[in-house]
């Protein structure tokens, strides 16, 4: 059972972006403080002064700790912060992340880390120059049963891994017109379609998280089904991983009937497993004879992955999973401050995030040229 703050002093956290008008700000604000490992003390929540001030008021921050110029915010508050969460639109991450690192401020960046490979490489240069701390949030691996699945795979429950089918369908771009109000930046595609920056980075992350395997080549087929012009809103991708492992990925914002249908099925030669994000407390394991065992927090084999805030039978969800990740990032930052590095199995930084960006920039080329792209040589040709 998790105990309040585990007698550790909360780390001081700031936000750039993430206002009350944003898609993810409130989720981050609640999750980061749920277990009292972080305290939000200041922020530049929006370039719009009124929106930023309204956010500060909603979150009971002193007026003098709320800014609408993020560069001024960094200058004035850097001495009073342990880390800053970057929640601006993805195309603007690179500029903000780099300036934070250049000012020796630890960074927690919402996925996707950047909009393309070029931006990612600029972040890497700033990270190397500063020798700073960078964590990128992929919150679905915070779910206890996903972590339990990884432990099953590590222990050999599924045998030699063969393939994964992983999907993340949603219907946000095919609802009635009066129900749809996507942010303008989500309706512009660059080197990597925004659909992939929004959704596919999660399926890449989860595949790597539970298998610890690296992608080797990719092919893709992109589609457009919505009323929003000139964007990809549905995508199939097929990925060859090392050790002869295969992945079939589907992400969509035009799949009617799905709110957030993240689902994975992974197959080995001794068993398989299935997990569905909208029923997150159940993990199904299928044995060699096709018999099924369903695990939950009450009968989990790896109890140290559970992090109960209340007893089994009282469902935990998305915010609690996010809070697990924020606790892990607090542990990682404290280790980094003490030792100059961290070794958390749950906190991912530049390398993993960059791998996903390279994968999906290659997918864009694969779709346009109708061919497989070799990831081992792809970046050399970009």
Q: What are phi and psi of 307, to 5 degrees?
A: 55, 55
pLDDT at residue 338 in the model: 98
CATH fold match for the domains 4-140+326-348 and 143-307+357-366: no
The CATH number given to 143-307+357-366 is 3.30.360.10
User: pLDDT by residue (tens digit) across 42-91?
Assistant: 999 999 999 999 999 999 999 999 999 999 999 999 999 999 999 999 99
Query: 97 by DSSP, 3-state: which?
Result: helix
Low-confidence ranges of the chain (pLDDT < 50): none
- Burial of 345 by CB count in 10 Å (0-12 exposed, 13-18 middle, 19+ buried)? exposed
pLDDT at residue 297 in the model: 85
3 state SS for 121-159: HHHHHHHHHHCCCEEEECHHHHCHHHHHHHHHHHCCCCC
Show the tokens assigned to 303.
């109890």
Please report, for the chain, the start and end positions of each structural domain, with discontinuous segments joined by +. Answer: 4-140+326-348, 143-307+357-366
pTM of the predicted protein model: 0.95
3-state helix, strand, coil in the chain (%, to 5): 40, 20, 35
- Let me know: does 24 contact 138? Beta carbons within 8 Å: no
Topology adopted by domain 4-140+326-348: Rossmann fold (3.40.50)
Q: Nearest-5° angle of CA 218, CA 219, CA 224? A: 130
Q: Residue 1, Cα to own-chain centre: how many angstroms?
A: 25
Task: Give the residue from 228, 220, 216 showing the smallest Cα distance to 196.
Answer: 220
Task: Give the residue from 136, 219, 224, 235 showing the smallest Cα distance to 187.
Answer: 224
């Amino acid at each position: 059972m998790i105990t309040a703050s585990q007698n550790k002093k909360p780390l001081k956290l700031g936000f750039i972006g993430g206002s009350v008008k944003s898609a993810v700000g409130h989720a981050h604000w609640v999750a980061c403080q749920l277990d009292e490992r972080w305290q939000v003390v200041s922020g530049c929540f929006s370039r719009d002064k009124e929106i930023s001030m309204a956010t500060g008021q909603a979150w009971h921050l002193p007026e003098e700790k709320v800014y609408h110029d993020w560069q001024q915010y960094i200058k004035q508050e850097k001495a009073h912060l342990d880390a800053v969460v970057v929640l601006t639109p993805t195309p603007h991450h690179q500029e903000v992340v780099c300036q934070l690192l250049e000012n020796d401020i630890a960074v927690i960046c919402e996925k996707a880390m950047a909009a393309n490979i070029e931006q990612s490489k600029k972040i890497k240069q700033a990270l190397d120059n500063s020798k700073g701390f960078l964590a990128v949030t992929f919150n679905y691996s915070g779910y206890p049963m996903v972590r339990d699945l990884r432990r099953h795979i590590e222990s050999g429950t599924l045998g030699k891994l063969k393939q994964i089918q992983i999907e993340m369908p949603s219907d946000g771009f095919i609802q009635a017109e009066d129900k749809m109000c996507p942010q303008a930046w989500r309706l512009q595609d660059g080197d990597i379609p925004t659909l992939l920056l929004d959704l596919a980075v999660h399926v890449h992350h989860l595949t790597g998280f539970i298998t610890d395997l690296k992608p080797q080549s990719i092919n893709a087929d992109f589609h457009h089904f919505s009323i929003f012009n000139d964007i990809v809103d549905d995508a199939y991708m097929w990925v060859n991983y090392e050790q002869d492992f295969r992945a079939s990925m589907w992400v969509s914002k035009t799949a009617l009937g799905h709110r957030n249908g993240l689902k994975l099925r992974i197959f080995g030669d001794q068993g398989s497993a299935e997990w569905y994000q909208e029923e997150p407390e159940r993990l199904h394991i299928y044995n060699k004879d096709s018999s099924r065992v369903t695990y939950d927090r009450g009968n989990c084999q790896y109890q140290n992955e559970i992090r109960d805030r209340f007893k089994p039978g009282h469902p935990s969800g998305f915010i609690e999973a996010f809070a697990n990740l924020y606790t892990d990032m607090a542990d990682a930052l404290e280790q980094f401050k003490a030792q100059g590095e961290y070794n958390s199995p749950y906190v991912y930084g530049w390398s993993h995030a960059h791998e996903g960006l390279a994968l999906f920039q290659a997918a864009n080329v694969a779709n346009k040229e109708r061919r497989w792209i070799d990831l081992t040589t792809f970046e050399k040709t970009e």
